[in-house]
Every structure is written in structure tokens, then in C-alpha cells.
Amino acid sequence: MPDSPEELDSLFHSLDALGRFPGTEGPELSAVDGVDRLLLAEAYADLRSDPATDGGGAGRVVVLDDAFGALTLGAVACATGASDPARVVVHQDWVTAERALDVNAERLGLTDAFTRHDALRGLDSELLGRAKVVLLRLPKSLDTLTEQVEAIARHAPADVTVYAGGRVKHMTRGMNDVIARSFGDVRASLGRFKSRALIARSPLPSARTQEPTFPRRAHLGEIGLDVVSHGGVFAGTRLDIGTRYLLTFLDEMAPDAAQAIDVGCGSGILAVSLAQARPGLQVLASDQSAAAITSTAATAQANGVAAAVTTLRDDALSTLPADCADLVVCNPPFHSGTALHTDAAHRMFAAAARVLRPGGELWTVYNSHLLYKRDLSRVVGPTTMAGQNPKFTVTRTVRRD
């Protein structure tokens, strides 16, 4: 950990201006946290190196899954010498995170100071092939981390340094193990701001040649589907039990529908099952996550319905016109029932109300303790319970005129 030079303090001060929009905002929710601060402090010397002396600069700093832009804008602000917008390249899986970075960049007058990697291209050599420094916030999912670390070790130059930071209370031994499978030198920083960084160097030669773990493909005999999933996509290549229950109502869903939408499609199981069961039905599968979108496209391809399933990376269908669908299926993020999750579900219901034609149907599955039936009736239209098992409720909502 370097001393905190004055520049670093003033950088932290300027980052205090960042907001979380379009993410959930609230007095106790901050767009910059101890993990961001620790990562910028740990990588400070590397981030400051002058592009004039470090080999041109383009693509030398790579930021993965910046939450609201603090790492990207912080890395930009650390640079010395002439600022090259190609120097800091950011890849964000969530389109909402991209939007938050854009809003914050504008706020700090840094809109053209970095380069965005097309998230649908994934973690490829174009993104990582010149990286000297990689900053990433440790994801909750070890599968996500595995895919990220394997990609860095495969594509980045041998002198790359990876700074992977997390809240101490959320860090596990498994994270070290994942990184150590691809890097010869892994050490932990001292703790600060209740956070710690794992710092990795020396990508292993074997990591350059081994088959990537993701995307994974599995056959789900139970529903006769091949599922393809990138790391961190909801349920991976497994069938979620809520999804399984919703699938048992497939035949009852808007029988005359021509246009259907799967909002929050994950690996694409609902969208692809619909397309398979209803020849002639066009299905749009949408998710905020690039990994989910590329997984869904691959799942559709693997099951021979690529022509019937189109994909769209979007935040709660925000770019779709009103009244464009006859059927929407939705398995919203619901497991913990925390404010953040119910918020996401409500945004999906509001989106369904907008994109459904009058008389169109929304089919939803959720944990029975959640009181979504009342919300659905209010926001979308008359809602009936189509089924209930010990854990889940499935509802059919008809969009009111």
C-alpha cells in the first residue's frame, strides 16, 4: 500500500460527487465504497505510469465490472502525461452499470476520457491483449471470477498485474484458489476501508493454452434442452425451481400470441422453451447482463431455434416501444426479497405493463411470501393465481385497456 499522497486524497474527494443512477439511490447507498478506494490506492503507482514511457498506452489499464464508474474515472484521473482516451478500457456486464458510468463521467467532465469495450464481445484479446493493470471488484460468484481470471491469464501480457478487491467480510478462500489456478504469484494486501485486494502477477503458461471453463453447456433431460451459460449467469446451466414451475404453465399462456418477451432471460431457458413449444412465435429475450444475453443466444442456437429468438441487452425493456407484445414471461430477481430485489421486480412489472398490448398476458413466478399479486393487479391489470406449490406462486395478469 503506497502512502496516501495528497493527489489520492483529492481524487477520493472528487469521486464523492458520483451517483448511482440508474441504480437504486438512497441516503445510505454510496456510488463509491472502500473497495474502490482501496483498489485505486493499491494500484496508484501503476496507474500513474506515464503513457509516454509505458509503451504507447492504449489498452494498458483495463477495468472489469465497475459498479458506478469510480474505478474507471479514478484510473483516468490517476494518469500522468498526455491523456489518451484509449488508455483506460472498461468492460461492464450490466447495461445499468454502463449508464451509471456515463452519467458520472459527464458529471466529472470525463466523457471522452476512456474507451468502452463492447460487452457482448466478452473478455477477449482485444480487451485484454495490452493490459498492464487490471482492476476488478471481486464478484459474488466464483464462476464469474473464474471466467474473468482465466480470460486475463489467457490474453494479457506476461507483465500484467491484477488488482481484485472486495469487502473483507465477503472474501473467501475460494477466491484465492480461483486466482491461483491461473496466476503464479498471488498475495493479499493489508486491509483498509474494511476491504482487501488480492494482487496477482505471473500468468501461468498453462493458463494460456487450457480450455476455458466458460461458457458451459449441459443437457437438461427433464425439459429436453441444451443450456449454455457464461460464468455468473443466474442458475448457470441448471434449471431454477421457480423457472421449472413456470414452465409447467407454458400451454396455458396466451395461445394466440405472435410476439413474446422473456424479461430477465438469464441463460434463456424460458425464451427457448417458448420458441420450441410454439412454432411461429417470435420471442425477444432481454436481460441487463451481457453474459446472460450471449448465453441465451447460444442456448437458442444449441436448440435449433436461433431464428425465432432474438436477444436484447436492456434495462427492464427500456428501449422497446409500447404495445409491442402479446405475452411477457418473467421470473424476476426475488430470492432474498430485499428492497433491491423487489425494486427490480417492480421495474419489470412496470415494463411489462408498457410493452404489452391491451389484452396481452404477463406470466410471473415468485416466492409465495412476496405480495406481488396485489402489485401486478395495480400496475398491469387483473391478476389471477394460476398455481401455487409449497414455495412458489404463478400468476396470469391481463393487461388492462
Please report, as ranges, the residues that interact with ligand SAM according to CB under 6 A: 234-235, 240, 243, 262, 264-266, 269-270, 287-289, 292, 315-316, 331, 333, 344, 347
In the complex with ligand SAM, the residue whose CB is nearer, 41 or 344, is 344
What angle is formed at CA 236 by the lines to CA 371 and CA 307, rounded to 5 degrees? Answer: 95
Q: What is the DSSP letter of 43?
A: T
Q: What is the DSSP letter of 399?
A: P
Q: Letter for the amino acid at 56? A: G
Nearest distance from residue 73's CB to ligand SAM, in Å?
23
Longest dimension (CA), the chain: 67
Nearest distance from residue 229's CB to ligand SAM, in Å?
10
In the complex with ligand SAM, the residue whose CB is nearer, 171 or 379, is 379
Nearest distance from residue 54's CB to ligand SAM, in Å?
36
Nearest distance from residue 269's CB to ligand SAM, in Å?
5
In the complex with ligand SAM, the residue whose CB is nearer, 212 or 333, is 333
CA–CA separation, 398 and 295 (whole Å): 30
Return all residues near 127 (Cβ < 8 A) that are at least 6 apart. 59, 62, 89, 91, 117, 121, 155
Determine contact, residues 138/145, Cβ cutoff 8 Å.
yes
Nearest distance from residue 109's CB to ligand SAM, in Å?
28
In the complex with ligand SAM, the residue whose CB is nearer, 150 or 315, is 315
In the complex with ligand SAM, the residue whose CB is nearer, 42 or 66, is 66
Comparing C-alpha atoms, which of 72, 75, 76, 68 is closest to residue 103? Answer: 68
Joined grid coordinates for residue 306: 436461433
CA–CA separation, 240 and 346 (whole Å): 21
In the complex with ligand SAM, the residue whose CB is nearer, 230 or 347, is 347
Q: What is the DSSP letter of 233?
A: S
| 3-class SS of residue 50 | coil
In the complex with ligand SAM, the residue whose CB is nearer, 333 or 337, is 333
- Kindly calculate the radius of gyration of the chain based on its CA atoms and give it in whole angstroms: 22
Nearest distance from residue 149's CB to ligand SAM, in Å?
21
Nearest distance from residue 30's CB to ligand SAM, in Å?
20
Nearest distance from residue 341's CB to ligand SAM, in Å?
9
Q: Count other C-beta atoms under 10 Å from residue 368's C-beta.
A: 15
Return all residues near 209 (Cβ < 8 A) that are at least 6 apart. none
In order of 1, 36, 91, the CA distances from 196 in angstroms are 11, 10, 22
CA–CA separation, 34 and 167 (whole Å): 8
Nearest distance from residue 239's CB to ligand SAM, in Å?
8
In the complex with ligand SAM, the residue whose CB is nearer, 33 or 240, is 240
CA–CA separation, 97 and 68 (whole Å): 6
Q: Count other C-beta atoms under 10 Å from residue 53's C-beta.
A: 10
